[in-house]
Amino acid sequence: MELDQKTTKLFHTITFGCQMNLNDSERLAGQLRTIGYEATDDIEQANLILINTCCVRESAEKKIYGKIGELKRLKLVNPNLIIGVVGCMAQKDKDKILKKYPHVNLVMGTHNTHQLVELINKVEQSREPVLAVWDQAKRLAPDVPTVRKGQISAWVPIMYGCNNFCTYCIVPYVRGRERSRSLDSILTEMRQLGSEGFKEVTLLGQNVNSYGKDSEESIDFADLLHAADQVESIARIRYMTSHPRDMNDKVIDTIRKSKKICEHFHLPIQAGSDTILERMNRGYTTSYYRELITKIRRDFPNASVTTDLIVGFPGETEEQFLETLQFLKDIRYDAAYTFLYSQRSGTPAAKYPDQIPLPTKKARLQQLMAVQNEISLEINKQLEGSVVEVLVEGPSKNDETKFMGRTRTNKIVLWQKTGQEQAGDLVNIQIDTAQTWVLKGQLI
Give the burial class of 390: count Cβ atoms within 10 A of its Cβ; 0-12 exposed, 13-18 middle, 19 or more buried.
buried
End-to-end CA distance of the chain: 41
Cβ atoms of 387 and 355 within 8 Å: the answer is: no
Give the count of alpha carbons within 13 A of 221, CB side only: 28
Q: Under the criterion CB under 6 A, does residue 113 sit at the interface with ligand F3S?
A: no
| Binding partner of residue 55 among ligand F3S, ligand SF4, ligand SAH, none, CB cut-off 5 to 8 Å per kind | ligand F3S
Name the strand (E) or helix (H) holding 325: helix 318-331
For strands 335-340 and 304-311, give the pairing. Answer: parallel
Strands (E), 152-270: 153-157, 159-160, 179-180, 200-204, 236-240, 264-266
Contact string 171-200 vs ligand SAH (x = CB under 6 A): x-----------------------------
Lay out the sheet containing 264-266: strands in order across. Answer: 264-266, 304-311, 335-340
Task: Using DSSP, state whether 7 is helix, strand or coil.
Answer: coil
Residue 165 contact partner, candidates ligand SF4, ligand SAH, ligand F3S, none, CB within 5 to 8 A by sort of partner: ligand SF4
User: Which residue, 403, 384, 407, is CA-closest to 393?
Assistant: 403
Does 90 bind ligand F3S (CB under 6 A)? Our answer is no
54 binds ligand F3S (CB under 6 A): yes
Cα within 13 Å of Cα(192), Cβ side: 13
Contact 276, 316 (CB under 8 A): yes
Site string for ligand SAH, 230-249 (x = CB under 6 A): -----------x-x------
159 binds ligand SF4 (CB under 6 A): no
Note whether 308 binds ligand SAH by CB under 6 A.
yes
Per-position x/- string for 226-265, each x denoting binding to ligand SF4 as judged by CB under 6 A, each - no binding: -----------------x----------------------
Taking CB within 5 to 8 Å according to partner kind, which of ligand SF4, ligand SAH, ligand F3S, none is near residue 21?
ligand F3S
Q: Which is nearer to ligand SF4, 234 or 292 (CB)?
A: 292
Q: Does 171 bind ligand F3S (CB under 6 A)?
A: yes
Decide which of ligand SAH, ligand F3S, ligand SF4, none touches 352; Cβ closer than 5 to 8 Å per partner kind.
Answer: none
CA atoms within 13 A on the CB side of 411: 30
Nearest CA among 202, 191, 196, 207 for reference residue 237: 202
Least separation in angstroms between CB 141 and ligand F3S:
15
Please state, in angstroms and as integers, the Cα–Cα distance from residue 422 to each residue in 134, 149, 235, 387, 438, following that order. 45, 18, 15, 18, 20
Name the residue number minimizing CB distance to ligand F3S. 17
Distance CA 131, CA 22 (A): 22
As measured in angstroms, the least distance from the Cβ of 35 to ligand SF4 is 32
What is the Cα–Cα distance from 269 to 313, expressed in whole angstroms?
13
Q: What distance in Å separates the CA atoms of residue 434 and residue 440, rounded to the nearest whole number?
A: 6
- Number of residues counted as binding ligand SAH (CB under 6 A): 17
CB closer to ligand F3S out of 16 and 289: 16
Residue 375 within binding range of ligand SF4, rule CB under 6 A: no
Of residues 194 through 253, those in contact with ligand F3S by CB under 6 A are: none
Site string for ligand SAH, 203-222 (x = CB under 6 A): ---xx---------------
Segment interacting with ligand SAH (CB under 6 A) among 126-134, 167-175, 376-384, 405-413:
167-175
Q: Which among 58, 270, 245 has a CA at the least distance from the CA of 164?
A: 245
Nearer to ligand SAH, 56 or 132 (CB): 56
Contact call for residue 116 and ligand SF4 (CB under 6 A): no
Under the binding rule (CB under 6 A), the answer on residue 166 touching ligand SF4 is yes
What are the residues whose beta carbons fall under 8 Å from the beta carbon of 100, sequence distance 6 or more?
none
Instruction: Note the residues at the interface with ligand SAH (CB under 6 A).
Output: 56-57, 168-169, 171, 206-207, 241, 243, 268, 270, 308, 310, 339, 341-342, 344
Instruction: Note the residues at the interface with ligand SF4 (CB under 6 A).
Output: 162, 164-166, 169, 171-172, 206-207, 243
